[in-house]
Amino acid sequence: MDESPFSFDSAKGNFSFPEKHKYDAGYGLTPDTVDYIVNVKGEKDWIREFRQNALRKFEEMPLPTHWATKDLEKIDFSAIRYYLAHGERPKKSWDEVPDEVKRTFERLGVPEQERAFLAGVDAQYDSETAYNNMKEELQKQGVIFVNSTEGLMEHEEIFRPWFGKVIPVGDNKFSALNSAVFSGGSFIYVPKGVKLKHPLQAYFRINSENFGQFERTLIIADEDSEIMYMEGCTAPQFDTSTLHSAVVELVAMKNAKIQYVTVQNWSSNVFNLVTKRGLAHEGAEIRWIDCNIGSGLTMKYPGVVLKGRRARGEVISIALANTGQHQDTGAKMIHAADETTSNVVSKSISIGTGRASYRGQVVIPKGLKGCKNNTECDALLINTDSRTDTYPAISVTGNRSAVQHEASVSQVSEEMLFYMQQRGLSRASAMSLAVNGFINELVKEFPMEYSVELRRLIDLEMEDSIG
């Protein structure tokens, strides 16, 4: 097969408005850049020290050394703008949001989604949150849902003890970069016993060229609480590179449950380099449900540290790599207590000359008992030049736990397509059916609104890309 029949583009997000920023830190990253961000945001001295220390670590640390290093070397950190903002506090009404920002999110359907099924929305435009609102009933229950700046300034007593604890500044070069220049992102605290019936959502929008977005998210679910958080991401297609480097920390206290759902559809000029990790205490559960469609290069490995007895961690992921794209995704599961359970299910689809890789880490130290891990990695190749790789790293040093790993690679065959076409389906519909069948079980794990959108995108792309 020589066609590229499966071609996710970012048409829905491929638009931009003229820049109207009041604050611009300029190009390049220096201590003065960090001071500019601190001064504009009016942050405390301890945050300034935290950021400057992170900048020093970023400058000292090398780029990651696995196969994507050559792609990362294309990033010119001196050609990026690290802070762009309108200089206004987040609005609680869409009517108060600046016109070009409001039109952006209306075009993406965010206000409509909020009215239809969400408990609250945080909408970030370039460096800062433009809109943040939550249903009144949740506020009465003590739920906090604000951007990271407000979290640090107004809820320091809750925010600071966990800030940078799940993901240390020096975890990797890009977590250090985020720690130096972070802006935006969500801070959520769910009190004991509160179970959110509807999800909270964040939407991250890059509008400007030569820009880096560095949101910082911290979610704390107190004992016996439950929350689902969903995020979406888009950016226009520019000729120059755009950098997205987020840090997400999750803390699930005793018997709490957190589900974190991501559907990214970045344009192909975006470097998407994200560090995401959760800490699960006794009886807690953290689930990452992840779909990576766009970007030129994605490096993302959601992880869970299973700190408490009977804690559970899970990563469900779908990655689609088209021509010119590298999707290097996976999961990390660190067992640190008895009777902990982890589950990783990864599906990847490679189209044209696209490359998808699963990179996983499972650690069960000596002395633990009753731990279980299941890892499944399945790859589908659409074309003869498509590529997939699997790099599982499983370390079990005791003998009282159970681990299993399964991997498979398959290709859509001409015989299968011919069979379906003989029964009246077009080639595009046949390909769509084959691909949907491959990811069907995982799509069911996404909330209804997202799963419908994923299937719609697949069907539209099948129709558009095969003549």
Q: Domains of the chain: which residue ranges?
A: 12-413, 414-467
For the record, the structure tokens of 32 come out as: 């003065």
Per-residue model confidence (pLDDT) at position 352? 82
Q: In this structure, what DSSP letter does residue 153 have?
A: H
Do residues 305 and 333 lie in contact, with contact meaning Cβ atoms separated by under 8 Å? Answer: no
CA 219/CA 465 separation, integer angstroms: 40
CA 68/CA 63 separation, integer angstroms: 10
Q: Work out whether the CA dihedral 433, 438, 444, 449 comes out positive or negative.
A: negative
Per-residue model confidence (pLDDT) at position 117? 60
Per-residue model confidence (pLDDT) at position 445? 84
Per-residue model confidence (pLDDT) at position 114? 60
Q: pLDDT of the chain along its 467 residues, tens only?
A: 333 333 334 455 554 444 566 888 899 999 999 999 999 999 999 999 999 999 999 999 998 876 666 788 889 999 999 998 877 777 777 777 777 676 766 766 666 666 666 677 777 777 877 777 778 888 899 999 999 989 999 999 999 999 999 999 999 999 999 999 999 999 999 999 999 998 898 888 788 788 889 999 999 999 999 999 988 876 666 667 889 999 999 999 999 999 999 888 777 888 999 999 999 999 999 999 998 887 889 999 999 999 999 999 999 999 988 888 899 999 999 999 999 999 999 999 888 888 999 999 999 999 999 999 999 999 999 878 889 999 999 999 988 899 999 999 998 878 888 888 888 888 777 877 888 888 888 888 877 666 766 666 556 545 544 44
CA 316/CA 26 separation, integer angstroms: 39
Per-residue model confidence (pLDDT) at position 431? 78
Long-range contacts of 32-38 (CB under 8 A, 24+ apart): 33/82, 33/83, 33/181, 34/180, 34/181, 36/83, 37/82, 37/83, 37/181, 37/183
CA 159/CA 124 separation, integer angstroms: 20
290 membership: H or E segment, kind and range: strand 285-292
Helices 99-107 and 110-117 cross at an angle (nearest 10°) of 60
Residue pointed to by tokens 């359970």: 341
CA 465/CA 118 separation, integer angstroms: 33
For the record, the structure tokens of 6 come out as: 């499966």
Q: What's the pTM?
A: 0.89
**CB neighbourhood size of 237 (10 A):** 18
CA 307/CA 31 separation, integer angstroms: 36
Per-residue model confidence (pLDDT) at position 237? 67
Q: In which order are the strands placed within the sheet that holds 200-205?
A: 128-134, 120-125, 200-205, 226-234, 257-264, 285-292, 312-321, 341-350, 372-381, 402-411
CA 373/CA 323 separation, integer angstroms: 33
